[in-house]
Structure formats: C-alpha cells, structure tokens
Amino acid sequence: MQQENEQMKYVKFTKEDKAIIMKSLEEQHFETFISYFRNTELLVECQYMLTHSLQKLAPTENAEFQVGNRHYYVKITDMIKIRINNEWAAFIKGHIYYRAQDVQNYKQDFPKLNECTSKDLFLTDQTEWFISTTFLQKIQVKPIDEYNILTIELNDEYYTRAEYNTQEQKFNPPISEWITYCFCKKLYNPREHYIQCNQCNQWVHYSCSDRSDKELKIISELKFICFQCVEENKNNKLNLQDNENQDGQLTKLNTTIQVNKKK
C-alpha cells in the first residue's frame, strides 16, 4: 500500500496528459486541470491564503473575483496550491452567488426580481474554481434584515434575502415570503427611505407618502398619517354622521308618535 501511494505521489504525466493539462489551464477549465494533480505531492490543501493586500482569506469567507470583464461573488469552500514548473499556483473554490440577472428567464419566471438592486446576492449550489490572480477583494454578505445602509455606501457590502437552487430553479425561502413594506408591496430595499404612519404603524416609501420634499426634510416634526388611514378616518366620520342623522330622525319620529298618541 505504501509503495502504491509513493507511485501516486510521483506520477509522471504522459505527453497526452501534459497537452490536456496545458490546454485546461489556458482555457481556465480548472476542475479538469486540478484533477490531474489529485493524490500527488504537487497539490497541497491550504487552511488560508494571503491576498495581494496581505489580507488573510479563509474558507467560509466571501470574495469577489474578476475573470475577463465578468465579476463573480463567491462563498469560499476550498483552497489549494499546485506546484508548476517549480512555482506554486493557488486556486480557490466556492459556491457562486447569483445576482438577479443571472437567474435564467427571471423576467418571465420571477418578475419580482426586477425590484432587486445591485446589492442583492443569492447563494447557489453552483461551484467553481478560480486562480488566485483573479481575486479582487473580500466582501461581506449579510441577511437583508441585518444590513445597515451607511452615509457612504461601501462597495464590499452586500445583502441576501434567499438562496437559489439552480437545478430546481427555486428560491428558499420562496419569493412570496420575502420582506415587503409599504402599500405598493415592493420588495424591501435598504437604500430606500421610509416614513412610519402614526396611526397604523405601516412603513411607507417617501415616494408613496404623498408628502413634499420640503415636508420630508423635517420628518422628525411631521405627524404622518398614510392615505389609507386618511380614507378610513373619512369613512368613519361619514358613518358616524350618518348614524347621528339616523338617530336624530328616529328621535324625531318617536316624538311625533308620542304627540299623536296624546291627541
């Protein structure tokens, strides 16, 4: 057994193998490339790596990569380095985060995704290897209800409201359970400004509040009643007036009846 392991460690590649290895590296088919180095001393698994800015990068963390003009957002699962021509090349594997536009046929099948922003990320079951030279930066991905918008928005902070299964083409939780605010029922967007109704406590978009920009600038002094509560108050007032009129007419009728009885 030990002799077999030694043979695997010091395996020699055939001419055909070398051609496939070089082609897979050039075409960035890293899964194929890495498979040729499994169970050899040329491949070493890593617990962490140092980025070009000397940041420590480890599995379970999130990172952004750029391959050509395309950006990838990744939850890291594995890190390895492979010795090639007496130099080490590092590779990072992880689950891909989709953006709304990455979901197949999202405009037809999931029109609600049109309300997502550039900060929305959805963790998927899809995995991919990246060479470390394509690493851009570490990123933070928070549940949307924990995401706080800052005065200066950071370009390394994102939020997530669901995971996406690419095989079943389903979100978890389903879109019907995602957080919505306001009467327009649009998806919650931390970048939007909201004002709370003093009567029903509903949160309403500034743009849906029917209040002027001047009023909204003094929001702390504004006693805001949403249009639904305004309508409800009007209807209640009208109903009250109708009841009072009916009570008045009934009282008048009873008085007339009593007078007629006396006659």
Alpha helices in 92-207 (DSSP H): 106-109
The three-state secondary structure class of 226 is: coil
**Of the segments 24-38, 63-77, 209-223, 247-261, which one has the largest average pLDDT value?**
63-77
CATH number 3.30.40 given to 193-249? yes
Condensed to tens digits (0 to 9), the pLDDT of residues 166-181 reads 999 999 999 999 999 8
Q: Is the confidence at residue 260, as pLDDT, over 60?
A: no
Q: Is the confidence at residue 258, as pLDDT, over 80?
A: no
CATH 3.30.40 residue ranges of the chain are 193-249
Q: How far apart are CA 232 and CA 148, in angstroms?
A: 34
Q: Is the confidence at residue 96, as pLDDT, over 90?
A: yes
CATH number 2.30.30.490 given to 42-176? yes
Condensed to tens digits (0 to 9), the pLDDT of residues 114-133 reads 999 999 999 999 999 999 99
Q: What percent of the chain has pLDDT over 90?
A: 51
CATH 2.30.30.490 residue ranges of the chain are 42-176
- Asked if the peptide bond before residue 174 counts as cis, ω within 30 degrees of 0, the response is no
The alpha carbon torsion through 227, 233, 237, 239 (nearest 10 deg) reads 90
Q: Is the confidence at residue 242, as pLDDT, over 60?
A: no
pLDDT band, very low/low/confident/very high, at 249 (cuts 50, 70, 90): low
CB 16 within 8 A of CB 36: no
> Mean pLDDT lowest for which of 36-45, 197-206, 236-245?
236-245
pLDDT band, very low/low/confident/very high, at 4 (cuts 50, 70, 90): very low
Condensed to tens digits (0 to 9), the pLDDT of residues 10-25 reads 568 888 998 998 899 8
- Reported pTM: 0.80
The letter for the amino acid at 188 is Y
Q: Is the confidence at residue 60, as pLDDT, over 90?
A: yes
CA distances from 73 to 22, 65, 96 (A): 26, 7, 6
Mean pLDDT of all residues in 88-96: 96
Q: How far apart are CA 208 and CA 3, in angstroms?
A: 75
Q: Is the confidence at residue 149, as pLDDT, over 90?
A: no
Give 180-229 as a DSSP string.
EETTTTEEP-TTS-EEE-TTT--EEEGGGTT--HHHHHTGGG-----HHH
CB 167 within 8 A of CB 192: no
Q: Is the confidence at residue 253, as pLDDT, over 50?
A: no
Q: Is the confidence at residue 192, as pLDDT, over 70?
A: yes
